[in-house]
């Protein structure tokens, strides 16, 4: 019996210092699941100015896995990088069953995130799993929230995050969906194709901002009444952002959320996006 094919999408920017260690974690995790799945891994350097790309190439030659290294000659931002990579995957990986995207940043555990997402895939029922998409959400322990609050005086990130969470709690299920901590996601290949090519959603081809595609895709899936699951992928480390970066990021999240709220309220056929019952939250 042919093993299901999983595409891993791993973007990075200027992560040379910790990248080798992180990629080795990915290798260990993939090896644990090699009896169930076959993998093809895309690692992407988004215009990195350090040795990120060279480390990726060296890892590709040494790891013994099916790896393709992609490189942006200049920094294009995560949104454009992911859009181009997803287009390539949809075009060239037609035999794949799932796409798993996770960041390579040091603020959370990639081993736990990848393992928990892969653990959601049922054995022997690939044609009809219980989800179209799984979003892996990090949680912040009290100590990390305390650090975020301490930084709030300079970057106001804590209060911006609280504002977004209140909007989500009012309008969406799961009401603890935190747009700032959903960088790990698993998609059925066919479901990702439906979202990215759906003209009624219309955001994938037009979304030009540097942030937010990890929020656009799940909300678009809800808008299209897809089966959506949220799981915990462990605790995250808080990395303080500069005030202007935090503002841009959370302003973008708010625009995305309000856009979907207005679209749902303006269309009775899409009203189930609000407080939809088709979402499962798993701790």
Asked if residue 208 lies in contact with residue 79, where contact means CB atoms within 8 angstroms, the answer is yes
CA atoms in the 13 A half-sphere facing the CB of 185: 25
For 78, the 3-state DSSP assignment is helix
**In which band, very low, low, confident or very high, does the pLDDT at 174 lie, cut at 50, 70 and 90?**
low
Q: Which residue did the predictor score with more confidence, 22 or 276?
A: 22
Residue 116 within a domain: yes
Residue 103 within a domain: yes
Q: What is the mean pLDDT of residues 228-239?
A: 77
Residue 150 within a domain: no
Residue 169 within a domain: no
Polymer length in residues for the chain: 283
How far is Cα 211 from Cα 42, in angstroms, rounded to an integer? 20
Residue with tokens 């393992």: 115
Query: What's the CATH number where 106 sits?
Result: 3.90.550.10
Domain count, the chain: 1
**In which band, very low, low, confident or very high, does the pLDDT at 140 lie, cut at 50, 70 and 90?**
low
Residue 256 within a domain: no
Q: Give pLDDT, residue 50.
A: 97
Asked if residue 279 lies in contact with residue 171, where contact means CB atoms within 8 angstroms, the answer is no
Q: Which residue did the predictor score with more confidence, 256 or 207?
A: 256
Q: Give pLDDT, residue 277.
A: 36
Residue 77 within a domain: yes
DSSP 274: T
Q: Give pLDDT, residue 189.
A: 94
Percent of the chain topping pLDDT 90: 42
How far is Cα 56 from Cα 50, in angstroms, rounded to an integer? 12
Q: What is the mean pLDDT of residues 233-242?
A: 69
Q: What is the mean pLDDT of residues 2-6?
A: 91
Residue 148 within a domain: no
For 100, the 3-state DSSP assignment is strand
Helix (H) or strand (E) holding 231: strand 228-235
CA atoms in the 13 A half-sphere facing the CB of 243: 6
Residue 154 within a domain: no
Least confident of 12-16, 28-32, 157-161, 267-271: 267-271
Pairing label, strands 98-101, 133-139: unpaired
Range of the structural domain that residue 121 is part of? 5-139+175-237
What is this structure's pTM? Answer: 0.85
């Amino acid at each position: 019996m042919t093993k299901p094919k999983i595409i891993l999408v791993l973007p990075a920017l200027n992560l040379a210092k910790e990248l080798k260690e992180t990629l080795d974690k990915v290798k260990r995790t993939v090896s644990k699941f090699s009896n169930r799945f076959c993998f093809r891994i895309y690692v992407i350097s988004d215009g990195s100015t350090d040795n990120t790309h060279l480390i990726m190439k060296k890892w590709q030659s040494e790891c013994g896995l099916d790896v393709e290294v992609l490189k942006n000659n200049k920094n294009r931002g995560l949104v454009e990088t992911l859009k181009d990579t997803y287009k390539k995957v949809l075009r060239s990986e037609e035999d794949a069953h799932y796409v798993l995207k996770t960041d390579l940043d040091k603020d959370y555990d990639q081993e736990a995130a990848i393992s928990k997402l892969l653990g959601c895939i049922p054995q022997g029922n690939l044609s009809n799993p219980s989800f179209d998409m799984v979003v892996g959400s990090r949680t912040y322990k009290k100590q990390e929230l305390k650090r975020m609050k301490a930084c709030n005086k300079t970057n106001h990130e804590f209060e911006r995050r609280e504002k977004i969470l209140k909007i989500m709690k009012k309008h969406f299920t799961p009401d603890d969906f935190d747009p700032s901590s959903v960088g790990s996601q698993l998609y059925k290949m066919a479901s990702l194709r439906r979202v990215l090519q759906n003209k009624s959603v219309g955001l994938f081809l037009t979304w030009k901002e540097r942030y937010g595609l990890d929020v656009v895709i799940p909300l678009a899936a809800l808008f299209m009444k897809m089966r959506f699951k949220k799981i915990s992928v462990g605790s995250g480390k808080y990395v303080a952002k500069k005030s202007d970066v935090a503002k841009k990021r959370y302003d973008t999240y708010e625009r995305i959320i309000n856009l979907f709220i207005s679209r749902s309220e303006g269309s009775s056929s899409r009203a189930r996006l609000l407080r939809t019952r088709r979402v499962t939250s798993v701790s």
